[in-house]
């Protein structure tokens, strides 16, 4: 792996940069694999996330805990996640370790137990969004936005798999958020960047790196921040991150922000054992110093702006009628939900968000909200996959526990052969976790796993 000479020379003098070991680390073929557990999945405790052994049927061996996050672990080797049913059940997210430092930024700058409005502006494929969702309270609302339309489906699928009820997925340009002045308590900008921090994982990206691209990225980062900052409230927190080593995209952007806007830089506590390099504005992750890829993060507090008051909107959500609500309530145990219809699909959102959702529908291109419950056809609910992935389902909904091989057949959307316990809709469970729905008929079992999510590979 030959790193761009211009990148190496531009990093001279940057906090924590040590050319020789940096190049050596890139030349070695070492790969770090890490996962972040989903605390929102029911019975997660039943899985033995032990430090020293396989967890379930897949070759999933934990090495160590990632020190800056409550939920992250390094794995000894990279297993085939595709062939792990618990991956498809949303029990964990495969995520680069350094980027889980977002947890420290949130914990140390924001009171996470209070209801917050959080925007993850550059969200696809959803690593930071699922992490944020695990950290905020149930009464908080996360707007998970992705501007590039083709990247929205993967974001939506990951949000559904994570089992979230309090997340709205949007497809907006950063400038659209100027309509939401002073609305958010926290904004995370995990900015599109030149990507040098991920060279070790993706050596092909080296060919795409150029000084000119760094310049273009830094101009785009400025535009993104200038566009979104009006939607942050006074005293609100902005978390800015990149996976680039270039100062032009990191400290220089922070300096520019401080000069342009009424914001102040936040310092957070880091343990020296973590081997993270503190820099003038933020925190730098060097792969030759710690177990993780290149990453930069900085936190700011906005000093101007006004209070936000939600004006009662003229528009309303189309709520389900009493009869429909009664049908839904036979499926859903959680009482504090509000159900509304959008293009025939019923969505569940926590009741306290109704006004916010109307406000967001009025101002943004919402692609998904809360939990898709399903459609009612001839007085019967056809449940959506998202309902199976959520924690909303009543304990009385029938389920079938399947073996590893049957789980894989199910996830391949093959016909599955099991002893049928009864007729009708059943949840398919593997090691206590829902994978999706089947409908058991008199003479066959219909597999309702979403076609677009099915495993395409025949074997590991």
Q: How far is the CB of 153 from ligand SAM (least distance, A)?
A: 12
- Whichever of 127 and 350 has its CB closer to ligand SAM, that residue is 127
Per DSSP, what are the bridge partners of residue 34? 74
CA–CA gap between residue 237 and residue 136 (Å, rounded): 14
- Whichever of 228 and 416 has its CB closer to ligand SAM, that residue is 228
Q: How far is the CB of 365 from ligand SAM (least distance, A)?
A: 14
| CA dist list (Å): 122 to 182, 221, 261, 279, 373 | 19, 11, 21, 24, 27
What part of residues 358-387 is at the interface with ligand SAM (CB under 6 A)? none
Q: Is 453 within 8 Å of 81 (Cβ atoms)?
A: no
Q: 3-state class of 222 per DSSP?
A: helix
Q: How far is the CB of 174 from ligand SAM (least distance, A)?
A: 5
CA–CA gap between residue 176 and residue 178 (Å, rounded): 5
Q: Is 151 within 8 Å of 158 (Cβ atoms)?
A: no
Neighbour count for residue 62 (Cβ, 10 Å) = 19
What part of residues 218-257 is at the interface with ligand SAM (CB under 6 A)? 220, 224
DSSP 350-380: EGGGHHHHHHHHHHS-EEEESEEEEEEETTE
Helix and strand element counts for the chain (H, E): 13, 23
Choices 6-14, 33-41, 49-57, 142-150; region in contact with ligand SAM by CB under 6 A: 142-150
Among 125, 153, 278, 450, binds ligand SAM (CB under 6 A): 125
Per DSSP, 286 falls in state -
Choices 73-81, 121-129, 205-213, 290-298; region in contact with ligand SAM by CB under 6 A: 121-129
- Whichever of 226 and 325 has its CB closer to ligand SAM, that residue is 226
187 binds ligand SAM (CB under 6 A): no
174-213 as b/e, with b when 16 or more CB fall inside 10 Å? bebbeebebbbbbbbbbbbbbbbbbbbeeeeebeebeeeb
Q: Is 356 within 8 Å of 185 (Cβ atoms)?
A: no
292 binds ligand SAM (CB under 6 A): no
192 binds ligand SAM (CB under 6 A): yes
174 binds ligand SAM (CB under 6 A): yes
CA–CA gap between residue 37 and residue 93 (Å, rounded): 6
What part of residues 409-438 is at the interface with ligand SAM (CB under 6 A)? none
Among 127, 163, 282, 294, binds ligand SAM (CB under 6 A): 127
- Whichever of 167 and 224 has its CB closer to ligand SAM, that residue is 224
Q: How far is the CB of 154 from ligand SAM (least distance, A)?
A: 9
Q: How far is the CB of 302 from ligand SAM (least distance, A)?
A: 19
Report the interface residues with ligand SAM, using CB under 6 A.
Answer: 122-128, 146-148, 151, 174, 190, 192, 220, 224
């Amino acid at each position: 792996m030959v790193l761009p000479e211009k990148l190496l020379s531009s990093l001279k003098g940057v906090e924590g940069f040590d050319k020789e070991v940096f190049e050596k680390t890139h030349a070695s073929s070492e790969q770090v694999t890490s996962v972040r557990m989903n605390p929102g999945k029911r019975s997660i405790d039943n899985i033995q996330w032990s430090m020293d052994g396989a967890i379930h049927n897949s070759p999933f061996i934990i090495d160590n805990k990632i020190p800056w996050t409550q939920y992250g672990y390094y794995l000894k080797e990279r297993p085939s996640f595709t062939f792990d049913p618990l991956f498809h059940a949303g029990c964990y997210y495969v995520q680069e370790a350094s980027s889980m430092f977002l947890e420290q930024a949130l914990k140390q700058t924001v009171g996470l137990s209070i209801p917050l409005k959080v925007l993850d502006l550059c969200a696809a494929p959803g690593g930071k969004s699922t992490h944020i969702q695990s950290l905020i309270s149930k009464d908080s609302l996360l707007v998970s936005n992705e501007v590039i339309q083709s990247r929205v489906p993967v974001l939506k699928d990951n949000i559904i798999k994570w089992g979230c009820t309090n997340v709205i997925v949007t497809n907006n340009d950063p400038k659209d958020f100027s309509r939401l002045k002073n609305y958010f308590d926290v904004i995370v900008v995990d900015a599109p960047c030149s990507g040098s921090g991920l060279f070790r994982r993706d050596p092909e990206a080296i060919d795409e790196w150029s000084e000119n691209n760094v310049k273009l990225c830094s101009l785009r980062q400025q535009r993104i921040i200038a566009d979104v900052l009006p939607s942050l409230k006074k005293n609100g927190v902005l978390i800015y991150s990149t996976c680039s080593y270039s100062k032009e995209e990191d400290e220089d952007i922070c300096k520019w922000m401080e000069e342009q806007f009424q914001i102040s830089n936040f310092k957070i506590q880091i343990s020296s054992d973590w081997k993270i390099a503190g820099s003038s504005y933020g925190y730098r992750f060097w792969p030759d110093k710690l177990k993780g890829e290149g990453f930069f993060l900085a936190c700011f507090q906005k000093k101007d702006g006004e209070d936000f008051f939600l004006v009662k909107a003229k528009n309303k959500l189309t709520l389900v009628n009493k009869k429909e609500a009664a049908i839904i309530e036979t499926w859903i145990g959680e009482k504090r939900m509000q159900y509304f219809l959008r293009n025939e699909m019923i969505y569940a959102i926590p009741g306290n968000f109704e006004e916010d959702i109307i406000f967001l529908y009025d101002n943004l291109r919402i692609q998904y909200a809360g939990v898709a419950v399903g459609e009612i056809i001839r007085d019967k609910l056809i449940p959506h996959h998202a309902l199976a992935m959520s924690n909303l389902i009543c304990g009385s909904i029938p389920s079938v526990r399947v073996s590893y091989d049957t789980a894989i057949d199910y996830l391949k959307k093959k016909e599955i052969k099991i002893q049928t316990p009864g007729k009708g809709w059943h949840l398919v469970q593997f090691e206590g976790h829902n994978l999706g729905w089947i409908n058991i008929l008199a003479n066959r079992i219909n597999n309702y796993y979403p076609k677009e999510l099915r495993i395409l590979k025949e074997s590991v």
